[in-house]
Amino acid sequence: MKYSVLCQAEVGSSTTVGPFAYLRPGSKLGEHVKVGDFVEVKNATIDDGSKVSHLSYIGDAKIGKNVNVGCGAITVNYDGYNKFVTEVEDDAFIGSNVNLIAPVKVGKGAFVVAGSTITKSVAENDMAIARPRQENKSGYAERIRARAKAKKNNQTQS
């Protein structure tokens, strides 16, 4: 637990934390859990054998056994008025840069593809992908730069 902050948190045996993790009140880590670099956990349970390796926020969540949570994954638990729970069942895989918009449940053995924003529950052993198809607009970057340059010149002349 190098250089991490743990505040009213429980940590199971053979669990590693940090560096630079922040375990806030209500955090409960099981045995053989990995919470890595720059991970924040608040009012959440992460069960045995699960990993949240780096740059993630797990708040108001129940993470099952042997779950892998990818880099940059976030449980979006607050809508501006209320807090909601995210549940990820055993053996699920959460890809990098995933947003889980609570209340939502990811079923046992489910797979959430990197870059997805999940707003509906994912059934057991299903794969969820929630991102638009990439569209490239030829030459459009030049138009954006020209527009920005023109705007800057107009502001300078004013």
The 10 Å Cβ neighbour count of residue 4 is 19
How many angstroms separate the CA atoms of 73 and 158, rounded? 45
Helix (H), strand (E) counts: the chain: 1, 20
* 32 labelled catalytic: no
How many angstroms separate the CA atoms of 156 and 113, rounded? 46
Q: Which one is catalytic: 51, 54, 65, 105?
A: 54
How many angstroms separate the CA atoms of 73 and 16, rounded? 19
Decide the pairing of beta strands 45-46 and 51-54: unpaired
Is the bond preceding residue 19 a cis peptide, omega within 30 degrees? Answer: yes
> Which residues are annotated as catalytic?
54
